[in-house]
Copies of this chain bind each other. A is one copy, B any other.
Amino acid sequence: MVKSSEVKWIERIRKRAGEAGTARQNGLVVGIGDDCAIFRPPGGSEDLLFTTDLLIEGVHFRRETHGAQDVGWKALARGLSDIAAMGGEPRFCLLSLALPEWADARWIDGFYTGFLRLAGRAGAPLAGGDLARAARAMCDVVVCGAAPRGKALRRDGARAGDAIYVSGALGGSALGLSSARGEARRRHLRPEPRLALGRFLRERLRATAAMDLSDGLSLDLWRLGRESKLSARIEPPPIFRGATLDQALHGGEDYELLFTVAPRTRVPTDFEGLALTRIGAMEPGTPGLVKLNGRPLPALGWDHLRAGSGQGAPAPRRRVR
């Protein structure tokens, strides 16, 4: 049974938004419940993908430990990772930014430096936004991406027997959260959206489903299985050097890709130097259930409504099912 307040609320909102109707007529292909909403412009050759992500001081970052440029970078990286997960190409982004009194011109400039550096690299120009005052710094970033019509990778496409893969090694960001420096710290502060890999999964491997690992493998694989109406059995994933198995299974913000491919698909051992590792297979069973080495794996990942309360550092992760 799903106890998570976030999962519960998303289901509830999804149901209520669905009842409000009109979505199909308006060109919406996928609404609430995937990495991105999918919109099909009339007559267009591409589907447009939309994702939106909040980044809040005291919840997602701390002013004392996260530099302005890092905050700007990460604010955009989260949305780009969702576009990558669907095999999309970024088109543009929008940024709403609320600034507290402590945010001086230097901080704001630093924030935009980090944000626009990644926007430039990813080919996602800043097209607009909003500015406001608030007691704490926070921003909301929308990224629009595009994929050929009907070809975006979704969470609900996995089939029984499909192999499950992850890119890279997991747990690095969780390790980096408590590190002062080093590669893990860098992974935590400047995650790299896997845009080229996402396109490779869509074009070459014809992945059946994909999503990004933003809230921890245990919770994210639960979501993929739930949308695809399947269970998953896995072995331990590759672990980031120095991280624990627990961090690799439940740590958030790795922004690697989780994907499934048909059983006979030949997957290379790496993509441009980034390891691609088979960790298991999808199978018929309770939708969402994940078995690690044959035993049920609790979905302990990040619950955005339970964890944190704006009072300080992110709270400890809690069980969501």
Which A positions have Cβ atoms within 8 angstroms of B?
6, 9-10, 13, 16-17, 20-23, 26-28, 31-32, 34, 36-37, 39, 41-46, 48, 50-54, 56, 58-60, 91-92, 94-96, 98-101, 108, 112, 116, 119-120, 123-136, 138, 140, 142, 144, 146, 304-311
Contacts and interface: CB of A to CB of B under 8 A. Distances in A.
B119 A20 contact: yes
Interface of chain A: mostly helix, strand, loop or mixed: mixed
Contact of A127 (B37, B126, B132): B37
Contacts of A140: 52, 54, 96, 130, 140
This chain: copies in complex: 2
Given A36-B128, A39-B144, A133 B308 contact: yes
A123 B22 contact: yes
A34 B135 CA distance: 27
B138 A98 contact: yes
Nearest to A8: B105
Contact of A142 (B10, B52, B58, B120): B52
Contacts of A48: 41, 48
